[in-house]
Amino acid sequence: MIVDHHIDRIAPKGAGTEPALMEIVNSAEVVPLHPTAVPDNEAEPDVALYAARKHIYPQRVTGTFRRIKWIVLLVSLGIYYLMPFVRWDRGPNVPGQAVLVDLAGGRFYFFFIEIWPQEIYYLTGLLIIAAVTLFLMNAVAGRVWCGYLCPQTVWTDLFQTIERWFEGDRREHLLRDNTPWSFDRVARAGAKHFLWLMVAWWTGGAWVLYFADAPTLIKELAALQAPLVAYVWIGILTFTTYTLAGQMREQVCLYMCPWPRIQAALTDEHALNVAYRYSRGEPRGSVKKAAVLRAQGQPVGDCIDCLQCVHVCPTGVDIRNGPDLGCIQCGLCIDACDTVMAKIGRPPRLIAYDTDLNIKRSPGNAPEFRIVRARTILYTAIIAAVGTVMLYSLATRRAEAVSAIHDRNPVFVRLSDGAVRNAFTMRVLNMSLETRTFELTVEGLADAHLDIVGNAATAGGRTLVVVGPDQTRELRALVTTYQHLPPFASIPLTFRLVDTDNGAQASVTDNFRGP
Ligand code: SF4
Ligand code: SF4
């Protein structure tokens, strides 16, 4: 009997359990898919440009890489769903949520870090680090991001687990999908879709909690008093999560995501990828035939063509056909094949993370692994450089700032007593969590007189500006001089802000314009 993953050639009853697996193992025939040990890409057959979707029924698998995926799934989803409820005491009048995007207040809070709108370059730095880290991961271990960390992979994995609760493992699900609709089938499918929608809804719900105080927003949502935009975003994310993770699944990886194409251009022969070891696996054949061939001293590979590696694949790839854009490098076929190898008494890792160079190496030659090479050094250096600049900038970050915008029209005003006056719109920033008093002075014109319109006090001839914690204050500054100015004068001015308690300073320069 030929065992195949197609629906019309399904495995015998009980596949997936140990006796059934041995039945498959012992009865599988040689299927000469590969005339040569390594696929010949030059002899590609004509293929249609459109292929109808084949529904994939991934089989449950256990093993090292499945365990890693469970851990990553639990940790990443745990962080995503629970992080909005983590509190961080920043003092009075400041949000106490550890991670918060405060769009109304124009702040991003991340534990002890608070980013103001003018510090958006930190986001640029983070994006550069994220992109280059992806390149580095790719240079070391191929699409390890896709296989373990990508949200599409994580949520699809979760949805497939839920599906197995109601529909059973691969074989049971296959059989049920080929029976007429019944109450049992409708009930199972209904329960599955309901739970999928609940997960999708909570995924959208968790997302909006990052944009407002989570406990307050939950109460408002429950009382139908939350802002409309919150309901809209929950609806959008419920729909996208349900559609992408529940319905489209591997189609997103195969057709929508650009990363496989980019990754293919970035990889090299030293990157670790999930690969089938042709030299060890071919020629493939059933256990019985392999035993006969071995006894006759004829060449025989370890692959018994049981297709377990294909049945567990979430994207339906047969990795024995060579590198495939559909392979997300999740390693589940390694677990499946290792289980088979253990049962037939052959060494594990017929499928393994290995480099192209090693796969093509002649048998007997020692494998070679070169993680440290030019591209990995370059990527690490970029990450280190950008990270260092960001850390230095964060460590030396000032908690006060001042900006000034010169009036455009009129640029200057001549007063009735002959003086010339320039006006500026100024903003004083207090990025600390205490109320602070600043003295504002102007330098650059010997007899310049500074007047502040509102929001400032004068004490002993000093111009004082009080700014509350984590706030800004806008000022209207008038600078007047009686000095004789040259024609079309443009004299550099410096506005200096000094904290009256600790002497911390900030300044901004502009020009004083004359007639
Ligand atoms: S590679 Fe391993 S799991 Fe896949 S068909 Fe061969 S023996 Fe079975
Ligand atoms: S071929 Fe193997 S590593 Fe690639 S997606 Fe399928 S199961 Fe995962």
From ligand 2's centre to the CA of 334, what distance in Å?
8
* Ligand 2 within 6 A of CB of 332: yes
Give the number of the atom of ligand 2 that is nearest the alpha carbon of residue 147: 8
Report CA(21)–ligand 1 centroid distance (Å).
12
In this predicted structure, what is the pLDDT of residue 44? 60
E-strand spans in 314-456? 351-354, 400-406, 413-414, 420-430, 436-443, 449-453
Say which amino acid occupies 63: G
The number of angstroms, rounded, from the C-alpha of 354 to the middle of its chain's C-alpha atoms is 25
Which tens digits make up the pLDDT trace of 97-137? 999 999 988 899 999 999 998 888 899 999 999 999 999 99
> Taking a C-beta distance cutoff of 8 angstroms, is the pair 267, 273 a contact?
yes
**CA of 330 relative to ligand 2 center, distance in Å:** 5
Q: From the CA of 333, give the closest atom in ligand 1.
A: 3
Mean pLDDT value of segment 45-52: 75
State the Cα angle at 205 between 202 and 209, rounded to 5°. Answer: 135
* Among protein residues, the one whose CA lies closest to atom 6 of ligand 1: 303
- The whole-chain average pLDDT of the chain stands at 88
> Which ligand 1 atom is at minimum distance from the Cα of 284?
6
Tens of pLDDT along 67-82? 999 999 999 999 999 9
Task: Kindly report the protein residue whose alpha carbon is nearest to atom 1 of ligand 1.
Answer: 303
Tell whether ligand 2 has an atom less than 6 A from the beta carbon of residue 214: no
Compute, in angstroms, the gap from residue 341 CA to the centroid of ligand 2: 17
Q: Which atom of ligand 1 is nearest to the CA of 336?
A: 3
Distance separating the N- and C-terminal Cα atoms of the chain: 98
Q: Which two tokens stand for residue 317?
A: 């790839």
Query: Which ligand is in closest contact with the Cα of 153?
Result: 2
pLDDT for the residue numbered 10 = 37
8: pLDDT confidence band, cut at 50, 70 and 90? very low
Cβ of 244 closer than 6 Å to ligand 2, yes or no, is no
Query: What is the rounded distance in angstroms from the CA atom of residue 21 to the CA atom of residue 26?
Result: 9
Q: Is the minimum distance from the CB of 303 to ligand 1 under 6 angstroms?
A: yes
Q: Rounded to the nearest whole angstrom, what is the distance from the C-alpha of residue 380 to the centroid of ligand 2?
A: 27
Which spans in 405-515 are helix H?
Answer: none
Closest to 200 in 3D by CA, of 238, 256, 153: 238
Residue 484 Cα to ligand 2 midpoint, Å, equals 80
pTM above 0.85, yes or no: no
Q: Is the CB of 319 under 6 A from ligand 1?
A: no
d(CA 350, ligand 1 centre) in Å: 8
Q: Answer for the pair 306, 24: CB distance below 8 angstroms, yes or no.
A: yes
- Residue 498 or residue 1, greater confidence: 498
CB atoms closer than 10 angstroms to residue 459: 10
What pLDDT digit, counting tens, does each position of 426-454 carry? 999 999 988 999 999 999 988 889 988 86
Domains of the chain (ranges; CATH) run 4-52+269-360 (no CATH), 64-263 (no CATH), 400-513 (2.60.40.10)
Residue 77 · residue 349 · CB < 8 Å: no
pLDDT per position as a tens digit, 13-33: 444 444 555 554 454 444 444
CA of 320, nearest ligand number: 1
